[in-house]
């Protein structure tokens, strides 16, 4: 179980200059964009432009803040307005998309899994959760704060896990919301059976 803080992750600018990305985690650790099994990141979108296609990848994207974007992939039949905060949208990374801005700069949460190897479930939670319940995953506070043992996690902070056994999971403290409006995103990653 590893703790992370978005404020401690350095943003990397996109090659096209349209934004930047903070990678929270990928598996295997240190994998590049052609070899990861799964990847979770935060993107800041500053201007309209193409979304890179990722063949063989399933994607989920969720608006964190800002006015949002419109995603259009005519060949794939995709025409989606990403404007409502904390509403995950799943689509195939095979699709080449054009992104247009609905206003100013926005930030989104991204989960990518390699099809046939991993799958992801992305949920918004405001109640007690047990981290480590899936083969790999993470949770990040979106609003308010959550208590994990003696530590208090605030917005942009979270926990990351992989390869946890049943005994480790049982011995892990739950995450408890501190306020009625506290929310976090929970990503549960499952490895495909061979």
Instruction: For 92-127, write each residue's pLDDT tens digit.
Output: 999 889 999 999 999 999 999 999 999 999 999 999
**Residue 193: band (very low, low, confident or very high) from pLDDT cuts 50, 70, 90:** confident
| Nearest to 135, CA basis, from 166, 158, 112 | 166
Q: How many helices (H) and strands (E) does the chain have?
A: 1, 18
Residue 8 is classified by DSSP as G
Distance CA(23)–CA(10), nearest Å, equals 8
CB 135 within 8 A of CB 190: yes
Q: What is the residue whose two structure tokens read 């650790």?
A: 29
Confidence label for 60 from pLDDT (cuts 50, 70 and 90): very high
Residue 1 pLDDT level (bands cut at 50, 70, 90): confident
Q: How remote is the C-alpha of 44 from its chain's centroid?
A: 13
Element (H, E) at 183: strand 183-191
Within 10 angstroms of residue 125's Cβ, the number of other Cβ atoms is 16
Tens digit of each residue's pLDDT (9 = 90 or more) over 116-157: 999 999 999 999 999 988 889 999 999 999 999 999 999 999
């Amino acid at each position: 179980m590893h703790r992370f803080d978005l404020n401690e992750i350095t943003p990397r600018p996109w090659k096209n200059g349209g934004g930047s990305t903070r990678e929270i985690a990928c598996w295997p650790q240190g994998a590049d964009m052609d070899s990861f099994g799964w990847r979770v990141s935060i993107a800041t979108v500053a201007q309209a432009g193409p979304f890179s296609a990722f063949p063989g990848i399933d994607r989920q994207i969720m608006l964190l803040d800002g006015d949002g974007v419109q995603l259009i992939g005519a060949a794939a039949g995709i025409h989606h307005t990403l404007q409502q905060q904390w509403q995950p949208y799943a689509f195939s990374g095979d699709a080449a998309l054009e992104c247009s801005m609905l206003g100013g700069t926005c930030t989104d949460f991204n989960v990518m899994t390699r099809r046939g190897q991993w799958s992801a479930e992305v949920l918004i939670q405001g109640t007690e959760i047990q981290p480590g319940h899936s083969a790999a995953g993470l949770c990040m506070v979106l609003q308010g704060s959550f208590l994990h043992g003696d530590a208090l996690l605030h917005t942009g902070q979270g926990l990351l896990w992989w390869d946890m056994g049943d005994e480790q999971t049982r011995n892990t403290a739950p995450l408890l919301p501190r306020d009625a409006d506290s929310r976090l995103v929970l990503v549960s990653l499952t490895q495909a059976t061979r």
